[in-house]
Amino acid sequence: MTQISRLSLQNFRNCRQVDLDLGAQLNLIVGDNAAGKTSLIEAVWLLATGRSFRTQKVQHLIEHEQAQCTVFAKLISGGDHPVEHRLGLTKQLHNTQLRLNGESVSSQSEIAQRLPVQLLTPESHKLLEEGPKARRRFMDWGCFYQFPEFHPLWRHYKRGLAQRNHALKQKLPQSQVQLWDDMLVSQALQIDHYRQDYLQQLTPYLNTFCDALMPELKQSVACQYRAGWPKNTDNLLTLFRQNFSKDRQVGHTQYGAHRADIRFKLDQQEAIHGLSRGQQKLFVCALLLAQACLHEKISREPVIMLIDDLPAELDEKHRLKLLELLDMLNIQHLITTTSKDLIPILKPDQARIWQVTSGQIHKQD
């Protein structure tokens, strides 16, 4: 079980003071436009990842005319012997404080490690159509939870890459730029290995959930992984060396793990070209469910799923299907909607319904 049992927000957007005892399964958050539904989902995502999915500006998150916002969650995890963790995040304009069980922690990953959260919003289909960054984040989410070595490795790699790019921009001598190459290449190859491994494990789950959500699709789905350098590269270090003048011209390192991507294919065709907009959304649902299922299998802990504005995402039939799958996976889910009637509530005795009005939230009986 991984479950947020209590969620508190202070001065987070229009939510001045919110305290919720969340249910273990469906939490339906109902309210008119501008009530504060997305803000609630955003707060959980911020606690789990350190980022908002709507803004990069901290001042947007803090209630107007206030100095700071706080998100706090009591989390229960562990199977037969559940443990409770208290996770907290306070943001001021130029400062973030993280707390875990009453102690300050310096790294967001310590919170993230305990709070595996997935997010589906009306923007989620962009995972398929926009640049590779979102797809790298998607696979790196899985690598983070599955391989403990992955996160420190990726952080070191990014730090080394920033130094190399800085040296390129400063037009430092070739020898100084290349000081970084051995380390970057070695780390890139390790990162590559973890990502390939992860996608290989994920693909059967992806096919299962694509079948469940889109039985009309006859083709099987493949995740075609791209490392971030040409396929026929024998020696990445040689490629780095050969590419030095080009790198210097453009002022950054053109090949490496920071350029990795995934192409989702239905037989030979790119998924994005073969699917309707609705199917693209279902495909993203299948990706998240596949991740959730694999995560549960590896860590024995379910994820928590945040779904913003579900009716905007899927039609009635597919909303029902998605809710059945979430129920089957026994995942705590927070779903926002403008109307309760648009969401099929499978187990009314286990569901909690929350009414949001102008940043205030009350449980409905």
Ligand X SMILES: Nc1ncnc2c1ncn2[C@@H]1O[C@H](COP(=O)(O)OP(=O)(O)OP(=O)(O)O)[C@@H](O)[C@H]1O
Nearer of residues 25 and 38 to ligand X, judged by Cβ: 38
Nearer of residues 19 and 182 to ligand X, judged by Cβ: 19
Nearer of residues 279 and 337 to ligand X, judged by Cβ: 337
The CA distances from residue 342 to 125, 246, 252, 316, 334, in Å, are: 21, 54, 49, 7, 15
DSSP collapsed to 3 states, 227-275: CCCCCCCCCHHHHHHHCHHHHHHHCCCCCCHHHCEEEEEECCEEHHHHC
Distance CA 306, CA 49 (A): 13
The minimum distance between CB 7 and ligand X, in angstroms, equals 15
Name the residue type at position 176: Q
Nearer of residues 61 and 161 to ligand X, judged by Cβ: 61
Residue list, annotated binding site for ATP = 31-38
| Binding region for ligand X (CB under 6 A) | 13-14, 31, 33-39, 60, 62-64, 338
| Binding region for Mg ion (CB under 5 A) | 38
The minimum distance between CB 321 and Mg ion, in angstroms, equals 23
Residue list, annotated binding site = 31-38
From the list Mg ion, ligand X, none, partner contacted by residue 203 (C-beta under 5 to 8 A by kind)? none
Nearest residue to Mg ion, using CB? 38
The minimum distance between CB 229 and ligand X, in angstroms, equals 41
Give the ranges where the chain is alpha helix by DSSP (H). 37-49, 58-61, 108-114, 126-129, 132-146, 150-169, 174-177, 181-213, 236-242, 244-250, 271-274, 277-299, 310-313, 316-329
From the list Mg ion, ligand X, none, partner contacted by residue 33 (C-beta under 5 to 8 A by kind)? ligand X
The minimum distance between CB 140 and ligand X, in angstroms, equals 27
Within 10 A of 332 (CB to CB), how many other CB atoms are there?
23
Backbone angles phi, psi at 221, to 5 degrees: -105, 140
From the list Mg ion, ligand X, none, partner contacted by residue 39 (C-beta under 5 to 8 A by kind)? ligand X
The CA distances from residue 261 to 134, 209, 280, 285, 360, in Å, are: 9, 22, 18, 19, 41
Nearer of residues 254 and 338 to ligand X, judged by Cβ: 338
The minimum distance between CB 334 and ligand X, in angstroms, equals 12
Give all strands of the β-sheet with 117-120 in edge-to-edge order: 117-120, 304-307, 332-337, 26-31, 352-357, 360-364
Nearer of residues 250 and 312 to Mg ion, judged by Cβ: 312
From the list ligand X, Mg ion, none, partner contacted by residue 140 (C-beta under 5 to 8 A by kind)? none
The minimum distance between CB 317 and Mg ion, in angstroms, equals 23
Dihedral of the CA atoms 265, 266, 272, 273 (nearest 10)? 120
From the list ligand X, Mg ion, none, partner contacted by residue 31 (C-beta under 5 to 8 A by kind)? ligand X
From the list ligand X, Mg ion, none, partner contacted by residue 13 (C-beta under 5 to 8 A by kind)? ligand X
